[in-house]
Structure 1
Amino acid sequence: MDATGSINTEALDSIENEDEVIDDSEERELVTDSCSTKVLDTTEEPRDRYCIVYILFYLFGVTSLVPWNFLITANDYWMYKFRDVTPNNLTMVVRKTQFQAEFTSYLNVATAIPNLIFLVLNSLYGHLVSTKSRLQGSLIVVTICFLITTAMVQVNTDEWQNGFFIVTIVSVVIMTAASAVFIGGLVGIASRFSKEYMAAVVSGQSLGGIIAAVAQIISLAFKISPLHSALIYFIIADLMVITSLISYVMLYRIDFFTYHILRGCGGIASNRHRTVSMTAIIKKIWVYAFSIFAVFGISMAVYPAVTVLVESHPITSGTDWNNIFFVPVVNYLIFNCGDYSGRLVAGFLLRPNNQWIIAGASVLRIIGVPMLMLCNAQPRKHLPVVFLWDWEYIIIMIVFAFTNGYLTNIVMVNSTRVVELHEREKASSLIATMLSVGLVAGAAVGMLLVRLL
C-alpha cells in the first residue's frame, strides 16, 4: 500500500512538474532574445521606473486611432485632390465633383466596416497568434500604408483621379483592419496591468483627436495650402506610428512590462493556459458591453453627421470665426477636449461602480441627441432652431463629449475587473468589438437624423 502510494505520488509529481516545464518553456519562448527572463523566476513585482510603460501606453492609445484622426482631418487635401480639373471650367461657381461630394461617405464605410470585422475576428481567433506578433505586425502594416499615403501627396493625380481614389480606399481599408487588430491586442495587454494603464490607453485615443484638430486649426490660421498641410499631417502620423513600433519592441526589455505580460498582475503563469469560455465571459460583462454600445451608438448618431452642419449665430456672418474656425474649433477641438477631460477625470474617480447605474447613465445620454439637433444645424426643413447662440451649442457639446469620455473609461476599466485574470484579454476584445458595433449603428442612424432636421 505504501509502495503503491509512493509510486502514485511520484507519478503525480512527475506530471505536475512536466506541466510546469511546458508552461515555463512557452513563456520563455515568447520573450526569447527580446527581454530578460528573470521575471519568470521571481515573485517580486518590478517597478515602472520613470513611468516609462505608462507613457508608452499613452502613446499607443494615440497611435491606435491615428489613421482615422489624421485622414478625416485632412478634408481640404481630399477636396483638392478630387477637384474639377477640366480646363473649360471658366465659371466662377465652385461646384463639388462627385468624388468630392461622396469621398467622406466612402471614407466612413472604408473605416467602419473593416474595423468591425477585424475586431470580431480578433476576439474570436486572436488567441491563435501571439499578442506580440499581432501588435508588431499591425503597426508595420499601418506604417507602410501611411508612408504610401504620404508619398501620394507629392504625386500629381489630376489625370488619374479614379485610380487615386481606388488606391486611397484600398489603403484605408488595409490600414483600418491593421489598426483594429492593434486596438484589440492593446486593450488586451492593458487589461493585465492596474487600472491606470487601461485609462492611459483610453485617454491616449482621445488625445490623438486633439492633436489632429490643433494641427488643422494651425494650418487654417496660417493659411497653409492643402498639399502642405496634408504633408505635415501625414509626416506627423508616420513619426508617431514608427515611434510606437520601435517602443513596443523595446518594451519587452523592460522587466515591469514583461512581468505583467507573463504573470498577469502577479498571477501564476499557468493562468495564461487555462481554457477561456466565451459564453462565461459574455454572462459576466454583457451589461458593460451594452453600455459601451449605447455610449458610442448615441454619440455617433449626431457626431459628426449632425454637429458638422451646425453654424455660428447669424450675427457672426462674414467673419473668420463663422467662415473658417467655427466648425474646426467647436466640432473637433472642443469635442475632443471634452472627451479627453472626461477620460482623465474617470481615471481618477472610477465612479459609479455599479454596472446597472453605468448602463442607465449611458442610455440617459440620448437626451443630447435632440438637443444637438435643435441647435443651428443648416440646412433644415422640419425642426425649429431652439439653441441659436454659440455658447448654448458649446455647453451642450462639452457635456455630451465629457460624458462620452467619462463613461468610456469607466466601462473599459471596470469590465476587466469582473472576469478572471486569464479572461481579461478576451473580455477587453469583446468590449472593443461592441464599441465598434456602436460606431457602425450610430453612423447609420446619423444618416437618418440628418434628413429629419
Structure 2
Amino acid sequence: MNKRDDAPKDRGCLVAIIFFILGLGTLLPWNFFMTASMYFNNRLNTSEWRNGTITTRKEYYFNNWMTLLSQLPLLLFTLLNSFLYQRISERMRIAGSLVFILILFILTAVLVKIPMEEDRFFSITMATIWFINSFGAVLQGSLFGLVGLLPQRYSAFFMSGQGLAGTFAALAMILAIASDSDSETAALGYFITPCVGTLVTLISYMLLPKLEFARFYLDSKSKSYELETSSQLLPTDAVEGCEKTSDPSNGPVVNGNPNKGVNCVSEEEGCKQAILTLQTENVSTQKSSVLQVFKKIWVVAFCVTFVFTVTLSVFPAVTVDVKTVYGGNWEQYFIPVACFLIFNMMDFFGRISTLKFKWPSKESRLFPALVVSRVIFVPLLMMCNVQERRYLPVLFSNDGIFAAIMLIFSWSSGYCVCLSMTYAPQLVGPADGETAGALMTFFLSLGLSLGAAFSFPLRFLV
C-alpha cells in the first residue's frame, strides 16, 4: 500500500520502531534455540562410563531434529492461519501467541536448573520447540497481514527486525560465554533474554492501537479508501451516463436502468450513490483467483522456496559441527562468531541492501539463475572442517576460508529472500497484494521445511 495524502504523521517514527520490534520478536524463538545448540548438545550427547571405559554414547542429532521440528509447524500453521484469520480476532492471534511463547521460554529457562535424564530432556525440548514455533507461525502470518495494511516501507522495517533477530541471539550467546559464569548460570541468563524480548514485543503490540498513524491504516473502516480511489478504474461513460433523473420510489436511473432500493435526497446525490455502487462492483471484480495470482508470481515463489531449501539444508545442521584448527579460548567462541554471528549479520545486511539497489530486475531471467547458483554453497560448506565425518574429505580446514564462505552464503540468502518477497506484490494488481503475500509466506515456509528435511541426508553424507 502506498502512503495516503490524508494520513497523519508517524510521530517520532514510533510505528516504524514498533514494527521493527515485532519483526524481531517473531524470529526470536527460532534463533535462540538454534544459537543455543551447543548447550543442548552438551547436555544430551553424554557418554556412559563403566569400569573406566566408555560403554555407550547416544547421538541425538539435535540440530537436525531442531531444524525439522521448527519448520514443520511453521508450514502447517501458516496454512492453518488462513482459517484462523476468519474465526479468531487479530488481537487474540497475535497477543495470545506472544503470551504462550513467553510461557514456553520461561519453561525452557527453568529446565536449565532441573537435572533430568537425557531422553526425557530431549523429548520435552522437542515438544517445546514444536509448540513455540507453532505459535510463532500464527504470530508471523498475522503480523505479515497487519503490516501489509501500512505503506510499503513499513514492511521493510518489519523484515529488518526479523533479519536482526539472529544477530541479537548470537550476541546474547557470546555475552553469556564471556560472563565467566558456570555453564548453568550462563544458559539461564541466555534464556531469560528472549523472555524479556518477548515481553517487550507484547507491550509494543498493545501500544500500537494507541498511535494515531497506526489507527488510521489499521482501522477496518479505512479500507473504504480503496472504493474512493477505484473511480479511476471506471470508464468515463459510466459517469457521463448517469442521467440526472430521480424517482423517489425507485432511486436514480443509470444508463436507463432504475437502481431500485436507493432513495436520494437530490439528483446529484442519486448520481453519486449510483457511481459508488458501480465502483464497488468494479473493485470486487478486480480480485483474481489464487491460481491466477500464482501464475503471475510463480517465478519469485520458486526463488524464495529454493533459497531457503539451500540455506536450511546446511545451516545450522552442518555448519554448527565445523571445528576450528586453533585451540585455546577461541574454541568456545568459534561457532557463535564464525557460524551464527557472521550468518545473521550478513543475512541482515543482505536484506537491507535491497533498499539501495535491486538487481536483477523482477522480469530478468538472471534472478532465478542467481538463486539456483547458490546450490554451490552446499558442497563448499560440507567440505569444511566438519567433525565427525565419514565419507567426504576436508578441503577447507582454515577458519578464515570457512568464515569467507559463510559471509557470501549468508549475504546472498538475505538478499535473494528479501528481493523475492519485495517483487511478489509488484507482479500483481493492488487487489491481489494480500493473496500474493499469503502465497509467498506459504512458499517461504515450504522452503524452510524442505531445507530441514534435506539436512538429515546431507549431514550423514559428510
Shift of 1:104: 3.6
Shift of 1:216: 1.3
2:18/2:204 contact within 8 Å kept? yes
Which residue is equivalent to 2:17? 55
> Bigger shift: 433-442 or 400-409?
433-442
Which residue is equivalent to 1:215? 172
Could you give the per-residue CA deviations for residues 106-143 of structure 1, whole angstroms, max 9, x where no partner exists?
Answer: 33332121111001222455344343332222212212
CA distance in 2, matches of 1:140, 1:169: 19
Shift of 1:61: 1.2
CA distance in 2, matches of 1:350, 1:257: 28
Q: Secondary structure at the match of 2:323?
A: coil
Which residue is equivalent to 2:275? none
Q: Do the aligned partners of residues 368 and 85 (structure 1) sit closer, same or farther apart at CA in structure 2, a change above 3 Å counting?
A: closer
Which residue is equivalent to 2:392? 383
Shift of 1:81: 4.8
CA distance in 2, matches of 1:131, 1:91: 59
Which residue is equivalent to 2:383? 374
* Correspondence for 1:295 among 281, 287, 307: 307
Confirm or deny that 1:335 pairs with 2:293: no
* Correspondence for 2:91 among 128, 132, 136: 132
Q: Secondary structure at the match of 2:356?
A: helix
1:184/1:428 contact within 8 Å kept? no
1:192/1:421 contact within 8 Å kept? no
Shift of 1:235: 1.6
Whichever residue aligns with residue 323 of structure 2, its letter is E
Which residue is equivalent to 2:402? 393
Could you give the per-residue CA deviations for residues 162-186 of structure 1, whole angstroms, max 9, x where no partner exists?
Answer: 5544443333222111100111111
Confirm or deny that 1:308 pairs with 2:266: no
CA distance in 2, matches of 1:452, 1:157: 34
> Unpaired segments of 5 or more residues in structure 2?
229-279
Could you give the per-residue CA deviations for residues 51-106 of structure 1, whole angstroms, max 9, x where no partner exists?
Answer: 111111111111111111112222344346547698x76748697545xx344443
Shift of 1:418: 2.6
Confirm or deny that 1:109 pairs with 2:61: no
Root-mean-square deviation (CA, aligned residues, Å) is 3.0
2:318/2:459 contact within 8 Å kept? yes
**Bigger helix fraction:** 1
> Bigger shift: 439-448 or 350-359?
350-359
* Correspondence for 1:157 among 90, 108, 115: 115
Shift of 1:360: 2.2
- How many matched pairs? 403
Could you give the per-residue CA deviations for residues 144-196 of structure 1, whole angstroms, max 9, x where no partner exists?
Answer: 22223233334x233x6555444433332221111001111112222233332
CA distance in 2, matches of 1:380, 1:410: 36
Q: Do the aligned partners of residues 83 and 306 (structure 1) sit closer, same or farther apart at CA in structure 2, a change above 3 Å counting?
A: closer
> Bigger shift: 277-286 or 207-216?
277-286
Which residue is equivalent to 1:19? none
Shift of 1:420: 3.5
> Bigger shift: 269-278 or 131-140?
269-278
1:131/1:185 contact within 8 Å kept? yes
Which residue is equivalent to 1:411? 420
2:64/2:455 contact within 8 Å kept? no
Whichever residue aligns with residue 407 of structure 1, its letter is C
Whichever residue aligns with residue 68 of structure 1, its letter is W
CA distance in 2, matches of 1:43, 1:406: 31
Q: TM-score, normalised on structure 1?
A: 0.80
CA distance in 2, matches of 1:439, 1:192: 26
CA distance in 2, matches of 1:93, 1:265: 71
Q: Do the aligned partners of residues 436 and 216 (structure 1) sit closer, same or farther apart at CA in structure 2, a change above 3 Å counting?
A: same
Q: Secondary structure at the match of 1:415?
A: helix
Q: Secondary structure at the match of 2:210?
A: coil
> Bigger shift: 367-376 or 210-219?
367-376
> Bigger shift: 324-333 or 193-202?
193-202
Percent identity between matched residues is 32
Which residue is equivalent to 2:257? none
Confirm or deny that 1:143 pairs with 2:110: no
Whichever residue aligns with residue 64 of structure 1, its letter is T
Confirm or deny that 1:363 pairs with 2:322: no
> Bigger shift: 250-259 or 350-359?
350-359
Q: Do the aligned partners of residues 329 and 425 (structure 1) sit closer, same or farther apart at CA in structure 2, a change above 3 Å counting?
A: same
CA distance in 1, matches of 2:289, 2:84: 13
Which residue is equivalent to 2:125? 168
Q: Secondary structure at the match of 1:304?
A: coil
* Correspondence for 1:324 among 321, 332, 340: 332
Shift of 1:44: 0.9
Shift of 1:294: 0.8
2:47/2:58 contact within 8 Å kept? no
CA distance in 1, matches of 2:429, 2:144: 16
Could you give the per-residue CA deviations for residues 316-347 of structure 1, whole angstroms, max 9, x where no partner exists?
Answer: 2x3322x3222221111111111111111112
CA distance in 2, matches of 1:392, 1:105: 24
Q: Do the aligned partners of residues 96 and 232 (structure 1) sit closer, same or farther apart at CA in structure 2, a change above 3 Å counting?
A: farther
* Correspondence for 1:347 among 326, 343, 355: 355
Which residue is equivalent to 2:193? 236
Larger Rg: 2
Which residue is equivalent to 2:33? 71
Q: Do the aligned partners of residues 152 and 276 (structure 1) sit closer, same or farther apart at CA in structure 2, a change above 3 Å counting?
A: farther
Whichever residue aligns with residue 212 of structure 2, its letter is D
Q: TM-score, normalised on structure 2?
A: 0.78
